[in-house]
């Protein structure tokens, strides 16, 4: 095996690969639709930072953002913090995320230690998002409310997230490898009305039952009106004060039409937590 020298290029895309990139298509679109020509990436980048409003307006158009009401101005004030983007616009993130409907084609590929392979089609994804959103509304969730998840990166988390934001509610989550106190310290600040949680997870061949943590979360998160349990590890639920928990499958029972709450562009989508070193 040959050793590499400083600055040596180890791979370059072919012309065909470059032609197929979204960036290349975007540059072509700018020339055709906006009369703008860029000879290299640096020229495009410089325009994007020098002409902020023109650039972001083009991204809005190129991505064909769906909005109930379009914006009055791209950037009301160029100040940080305090910049106001796309004032006047009303739209919904979930509606735009689900626009690329390809019916039976796969929307989500999932694999984990616990589940060898799972696929969710676009049709199934939209149907489940509609059902869960309908169920959340029946549980009293409305625009601006917080819905939190104590879940790993599984299809149910994606479905619950899209359902939450379709209502205009705000999403937040913590990994199930967090202990109870770490989760409570985060979630208590935002006063969630619904908690979604798995019964456990598997890592490095070991199964970790988290029902006792879920029980503690239920007791200490006093703002939570309903707890939804996702049986991810498929074990019998231990008797740890989870009798009044809503099973995940109950959220999927009723078929519903997809509907989306239009919210301002700066409406909160999710609440994230830094480790403190980020």
Q: Are residues 196 and 149 in the same domain?
A: yes
Looking at the 3D structure of the chain, how many domains does it have? 2
In the predicted structure, residue 240 carries a pLDDT above the cut 70: no
Is the bond leading into 152 cis (omega within 30 degrees of zero)? Answer: no
User: What pLDDT, on the 0 to 100 scale, is given for residue 82?
Assistant: 87
Q: Are residues 222 and 169 in the same domain?
A: yes
Q: Which of 66, 89, 112 is the last residue of a domain?
A: 89
Residue 63: give the domain boundaries.
15-89
Q: Are residues 190 and 76 in the same domain?
A: no
Out of 47-51, 79-83, 254-258, pick the least confident: 79-83
At 85-132, the pLDDT tens digits run 999 999 999 999 999 878 889 999 999 988 889 999 999 999 999 999
SS3 (DSSP) at 85:
strand
Q: Which of 23, 54, 89 is the last residue of a domain?
A: 89
Decide: 249 and 128 in contact? Cβ < 8 Å: no
Q: Which of 60, 89, 118 is the last residue of a domain?
A: 89
Q: Are residues 186 and 59 in the same domain?
A: no
- Residue 7 domain flag: no
In the predicted structure, residue 47 carries a pLDDT above the cut 90: yes
In the predicted structure, residue 76 carries a pLDDT above the cut 60: yes
User: What pLDDT, on the 0 to 100 scale, is given for residue 242?
Assistant: 62
Cα separation, 278 vs 274, in Å, equals 6
- Which residues sit opposite 118 in a β-bridge? 110
- Residue 4 domain flag: no
243 pLDDT tier (thresholds 50, 70, 90)? low
Cα separation, 138 vs 147, in Å, equals 14
At 169-186, the pLDDT tens digits run 999 999 999 999 999 999
């Amino acid at each position: 095996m040959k050793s590499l020298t400083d600055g040596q290029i180890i791979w370059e895309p072919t012309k065909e690969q470059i032609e197929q990139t979204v960036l290349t298509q975007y540059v072509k679109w700018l020339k055709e639709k906006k009369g703008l020509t860029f000879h290299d990436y640096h020229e495009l980048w410089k325009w994007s930072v020098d002409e902020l409003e023109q650039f972001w307006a083009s991204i809005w158009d190129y991505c064909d953002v769906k909005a109930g009401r379009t914006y009055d101005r791209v950037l009301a004030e160029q100040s940080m913090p305090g910049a106001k983007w796309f004032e006047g616009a009303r739209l919904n993130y979930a509606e735009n995320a689900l626009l690329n409907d390809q019916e039976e084609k796969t929307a989500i590929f999932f694999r984990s230690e616990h589940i060898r392979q799972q696929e969710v089609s676009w049709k199934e994804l939209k149907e489940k998002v509609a059902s869960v959103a309908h169920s959340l509304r029946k549980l009293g969730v409305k625009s601006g409310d917080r819905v939190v998840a104590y879940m790993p990166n599984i299809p149910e988390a994606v479905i619950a997230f899209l359902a939450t934001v379709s209502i205009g509610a705000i999403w937040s989550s913590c990994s199930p490898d967090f202990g109870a106190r770490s989760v409570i310290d985060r979630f208590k600040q935002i006063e969630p009305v619904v908690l979604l949680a798995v019964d456990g997870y598997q890592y490095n061949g070991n199964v970790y039952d988290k029902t006792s943590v879920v029980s503690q979360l239920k007791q200490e998160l006093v703002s939570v009106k309903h707890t939804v349990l996702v049986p991810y590890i498929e074990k019998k639920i231990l008797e740890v004060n989870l009798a009044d928990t809503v099973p995940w499958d109950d959220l999927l029972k009723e078929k519903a039409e997809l509907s989306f709450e239009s919210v301002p562009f700066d409406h909160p989508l999710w609440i994230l937590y830094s480790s403190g070193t980020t």
